[in-house]
Structure 1
Amino acid sequence: MDDALLEFLKSVDTPTVCNAIETAQGKRGFSAFTRRPVIVADRDARPIVGFASTGKVASKFPSPETPESVRERRLGYYRHMATSPKPAIAVIEDIDYPECLGAFWGEVNATVHKGLGLSGAITNGLVRDLGSLPADFPILAGSVGPSRAFVHVTGFGMPVEIFGMPVKQGDLIHADQHGAIVIPPDVVSGLRDAVRTVLEAEKVVLETARKPDFDIDMLVDAWTRFEDTRNG
């Protein structure tokens, strides 16, 4: 993941990358993506690309542990985030889902993560403070709520699942307002070319369909060329 590829992937949306992965793999059926709608704190934010730094929280009930243990785990979690390979995205599973009660993500926590070098966050839990979140720190969440309730960190660095998408520590993530995907390691080297193939194939149909005299015969011709370009 060199800087040039990173910037290139930030320039295209997640559905395009999702299609490009299938192009690179030479088949349909890629399945490492979120399966539920997400709340996006800033719809104008660019896509986020980075390596997953995972954790789990709970929010519905107070932690049964001592306040000292809760604090030490939270600080251990922050150390984990600070030392994760960058660019990094916090991928946090609220284990109370779908009955999440408290927001782990708000102005303070988002600002802390951004200051520690994280590029954004993905969670099935809640987000709050929508008007006060730091700029250039995209957050994808399951819902919006006003309270922190009893939210506390239960662990970090382990596999998590966000809306049906399994994520391991260090997985390469691409995400935007459509949701998130895990990019398979074996397609990374060819992903730039695969994205360009997808865009060129779509261009064949789009340019034809936008013509004033567009009709079904033109579509048949364009669609044939579209499939040849996409599958060639």
Structure 2
Amino acid sequence: MAGEEGRHAGSGALTEGQAERMLAGMNDVIRAGEEARKLRAEVIKLLVGLGWTQERIAELADMSQPAVSKQVTKYRGESDRLPPLRLHLGQTDLPWLEGRLWGLAEAVSEALDGDARCTRHVEAVDRGRKRFTPQSVDELRRLVEEDLRRRQAELPGGCRKAYDEISRSLDVPARSGADAASGADAGPPSVRRAVAREIQRDHLEGRC
């Protein structure tokens, strides 16, 4: 197979390996786009439940008002039944902790101008190439911890404290049923991760 690819490369033709990599990359982009659209729909549902106007949602989402109106109509009954989303940082359900770790890793990567050990992992998550699994969360924790150990002096204040809080909570073998239930009741995991990510970043940047 390697010889076949080499012969095609020498002849100026596109090799099977090159085509495979191109298509795989396109699939990643398409998959990430589909997931982002689903997440946007869930966030719109959340904002409707919080009483945001269609005009404001359309402006922030860069959508037409008819498109927002269609989603608002679709979700109005569901959002009325959702409990209020809790926004305090110290929640301990798993999606919330994953979102906090994601936001922390992004802040570390940006502070180190993309030269952090966690940068490639963060970029893969942002582009939909990595999902949140026990293995990927452990890997991201390890990379962030290494960045903190090697380059803490270059990072924003609060990064070590945030990491320690997140790690302690992730290390609890079995979070209480109440925590898990409250997280599940407050919305889909993808939304909780996205909200926790933003709140964690705001705390690190002093906006909260």
Q: TM-score, normalised by structure 1?
A: 0.25
More helix by proportion, 1 or 2? 2
Q: TM-score, normalised by structure 2?
A: 0.27
